[in-house]
Amino acid sequence: MFRKILIANRGEIALRVICASKELGIKTVAVYSEADRQSLHVRFADEAVCIGPAKSSESYLNVASIISAAEITNAEAVHPGYGFLAESANFAEVCETSKLTFIGPKPEVIRLMGDKDKARKAIAQFGIPVLPGSDVLKTVAEAEEAAARVGYPVMIKAAAGGGGRGMREVGSPEELPKAVETAQAEAQAAFGSSDVYLEKFAVSPRHIEFQVLGDNRGKVVHLGERECTIQRRHQKILEESPSTAIDDRTRRELGHRVIEALAEIGYTNAGTVEFIMDKDRKLYFL
Contact criterion met (CB below 8 Å) for 45 and 7? yes
Band (114; pLDDT cuts 50, 70, 90) = confident
Domains along the chain with CATH numbers = 4-104 (3.40.50.20), 111-128+203-285 (3.30.470.20), 140-200 (3.30.1490.20)
pTM of the model: 0.75
Over residues 144-171, the pLDDT tens digits come to 999 999 999 999 998 876 667 788 999 9
What is the spatial distance between Cα 74 and Cα 80, in angstroms, rounded to a whole number? Answer: 17
Residue 151 DSSP class: -
Over residues 54-94, the pLDDT tens digits come to 999 899 999 999 999 999 999 999 999 988 998 888 999 99
Strand partners, 206: 277
What is each CA distance from 154 to 114, 178, 187, 199, in whole angstroms? Answer: 21, 14, 17, 6
- Other C-beta atoms closer than 10 Å to the C-beta of 54 total 10
What is the spatial distance between Cα 285 and Cα 276, in angstroms, rounded to a whole number? Answer: 7
Q: Outline where DSSP puts E strands in the chain.
A: 4-7, 27-33, 47-52, 77-79, 101-102, 154-158, 168-170, 196-200, 206-214, 220-227, 231-232, 235-236, 269-277, 283-285
Q: Give the angle 18-220-211 at the CA atoms, nearest 5°.
A: 55
Band (266; pLDDT cuts 50, 70, 90) = very high
Q: Tell me the DSSP string of 169-220.
A: EE-SGGGHHHHHHHHHHHHHHHHS---EEEEEPPSS-EEEEEEEEE-TTS-E
What is the spatial distance between Cα 14 and Cα 44, in angstroms, rounded to a whole number? Answer: 10
pLDDT at 257: 93
